[in-house]
Structure 1
Amino acid sequence: MGLRRKKEAVNGPGPVPPMPAGAPRGADWAVELHGVRRRYGRGSGAVHALSGIDLALERGSFTAVMGPSGSGKSTFLQCAAGLDRPTEGTVRLGGTEITSMSENKLTALRRTRLGFVFQAFNLLPSLTVEQNVVLPMRLAGRRPDRRRAADLLQRVGLGGDKHRRRPGELSGGQQQRVAIARALVTEPDVIFADEPTGALDTTTAAEILALLRSAVRDLGATVVMVTHDPAAAAYADRVLFLADGAIVDRLERASAQQIAARMTTLTAPAHATAAA
């Protein structure tokens, strides 16, 4: 799967429709959201965390999602990854409509076709590095592929005998490298990353982002990353900006300075405090 880069950058303050005009459903998209809304509560106290998202992201791309506190970033990621169900609309991952799936089928899909990288690493301390990497295969009922695990650990800079170590014997940056290898091991349709560099120093964060970038470039991975950091978002092919539960703008192949400047023009919604 090739990485399709846009030739032109959109740097103006006006909104740009994130769903390509005339894009057919079921085309070569890794992630599709159609009319997605998420409401918490009822009546006058309802919180509209997502207010109608229409979006299609191609395979082999790296997308960053940004917005002020309360803009809906976390809710967007949870709905897109099948961790939460939208109140309205549909979500498709790798061409599969997941909105109406049973919880058991959703769980199976997440184990086999999605990868996750979190700020807190979420490694099991009692397992070795290798065992953590192949865990998604075990949970999916598949035979662990230790050769693939070794290859991925080598790619993320953890070759040698590090596969025998426990997470507690590794630095924070090394633990996040293990998490990236784990996310890639099942060759998922999409990797969802939630503030993956939030617990890391600047130098280590840059190394982790470069790994995600290389996973897109070299392995054809699709990455959707929520971040508050313009420097992190600058590694992505595009940045989507959320405000008040809606995508209000996007930038293509933008610098950290351009992204930061756009963020300053967004105002956090006062009522959506539970959204992100």
Structure 2
Amino acid sequence: MKLRSGRRRTADARPDAPDAGPGLAVELRDVRRSYGRGGGAVHALAGIDLALPRGTFTAVMGPSGSGKSTFLQCAAGLDRPTGGSVRLGGTEITGLNENELTVLRRSRLGFVFQAFNLLPSLTVEENVLLPMRLAGRRRDHRRAAEVLARVGLADKARRRPAELSGGQQQRVAVARALITSPDVIFADEPTGALDTGTAAEVLGLLRDAVDRLGATVVMVTHDPAAAAWADSVLFLADGAFADRLERGSAQRIAARMTALPARTAHAGAMAGTAA
């Protein structure tokens, strides 16, 4: 399944942003992930094929147990697939050892989680700069100020996370994900703990990162309203892609989700024809 590039980055994109031109940001080939052995094995991913161009925003949805979390973990190098290959920004990561994967995640990937995952003892600026610090890079305070301004928190750099609202904390997490101009930003239910208005603000920031900075965003979500911000929505069922929708409204996405159980038996066939 290959997705075509969505909205293009504009002329005011940062020069050090990831190239949104030809090339793939995420590529999975026959990725499988099983847990257990023999007759009791659970096949969380059943042969995923996927190619996502740079500069696109992709949402991944599916019912509980469909393989969404496993997909994100394998695609982001947080879990090792049982079979198949994963390439991020042109780098084959499947054979990397744990130290190499750690370096890659710190320097070339960004993460936004539902639980924010900010360190309470650090200031907002220190949290944003943490990926640079962990990667052994010089902490660029000017860059931190730029990304904090982009997410509307220029005046909060010296605050601690506990002094911020939930929405502000998630905006700090988005700034942290942007700080290294990563190849891919992986977002796992980034609005799950937010109210509707605050969720829209955070999703707008991810959309802006794609449109204006040329970032690539892959977001797992259960919320059709959140998925509607994406260029494309992929639907997982029984560990395989069962459907795909381009720039759908929340209503259309919800309708596709409702239809998924009836399509589960055809998931394997749909994965090969949905491109």
Do both share a fold (TM > 0.5)? yes
State the Cα distance separating 1:245 from its structure 2 match. Answer: 0.1
SS in 2 for 1:267: helix
Indicate which of 219, 228, 248 corresponds to 1:254.
248
Distance between the aligned counterparts of 2:239 and 2:195, measured in 1? Answer: 30
Indicate which of 63, 68, 73 corresponds to 1:73.
68
1:139 corresponds to which letter in structure 2?
L
SS in 1 for 2:110: strand
Q: Find the counterpart in structure 1 of residue 128 from structure 2.
A: 133
1:4 corresponds to which letter in structure 2?
S
Distance between the aligned counterparts of 2:125 and 2:171, measured in 1? Answer: 12
User: What is the identity percentage for the equivalent residue pairs of Structure 1 and Structure 2?
Assistant: 79
Deviations 1:224-260 (A, max 9, x none): 0000000000000000000000001100111111100
* 8 Å contact kept, 2:57–2:231: yes
2:50 corresponds to which letter in structure 1?
L
* 8 Å contact kept, 2:242–2:260: no
Distance between the aligned counterparts of 1:5 and 1:40, measured in 2? Answer: 35
Indicate which of 104, 108, 113 corresponds to 2:103.
108
2:220 corresponds to which letter in structure 1?
V
SS in 2 for 1:266: helix
Deviations 1:10-33 (A, max 9, x none): xxxxxxxxxxxxxxxxx7000000
Distance between the aligned counterparts of 1:183 and 1:189, measured in 2? Answer: 11
State the Cα distance separating 1:5 from its structure 2 match. Answer: 2.5
SS in 2 for 1:48: strand
* 8 Å contact kept, 2:68–2:236: yes
SS in 1 for 2:85: strand
1:85-104 equivalences in 2 (<5 Å): 85-104=80-99
2:5 corresponds to which letter in structure 1?
R
Give the TM-score taking structure 1 as reference length: 0.88
Q: Which has a greater percent of helix? A: 2
Deviations 1:33-86 (A, max 9, x none): 000000000011100000000000000000000000000000000000000000
Indicate which of 168, 174, 177 corresponds to 1:180.
174
Q: Find the counterpart in structure 2 of residue 34 from structure 1.
A: 29
SS in 1 for 2:154: coil
SS in 1 for 2:130: helix
2:177 corresponds to which letter in structure 1?
A
2:188 corresponds to which letter in structure 1?
D
Q: Find the counterpart in structure 1 of residue 79 from structure 2.
A: 84
Distance between the aligned counterparts of 1:229 and 1:193, measured in 2? Answer: 13
Q: Find the counterpart in structure 2 of residue 148 from structure 1.
A: 143
Distance between the aligned counterparts of 2:51 and 2:5, measured in 1? Answer: 14
SS in 2 for 1:75: helix
Structure 2: which 5+ residue stretches go unaligned?
A: 8-21, 265-275
2:152 corresponds to which letter in structure 1?
G
Q: Find the counterpart in structure 1 of residue 229 from structure 2.
A: 235
Deviations 1:178-203 (A, max 9, x none): 00000000010000000000000000
Alignment size in residue pairs: 247
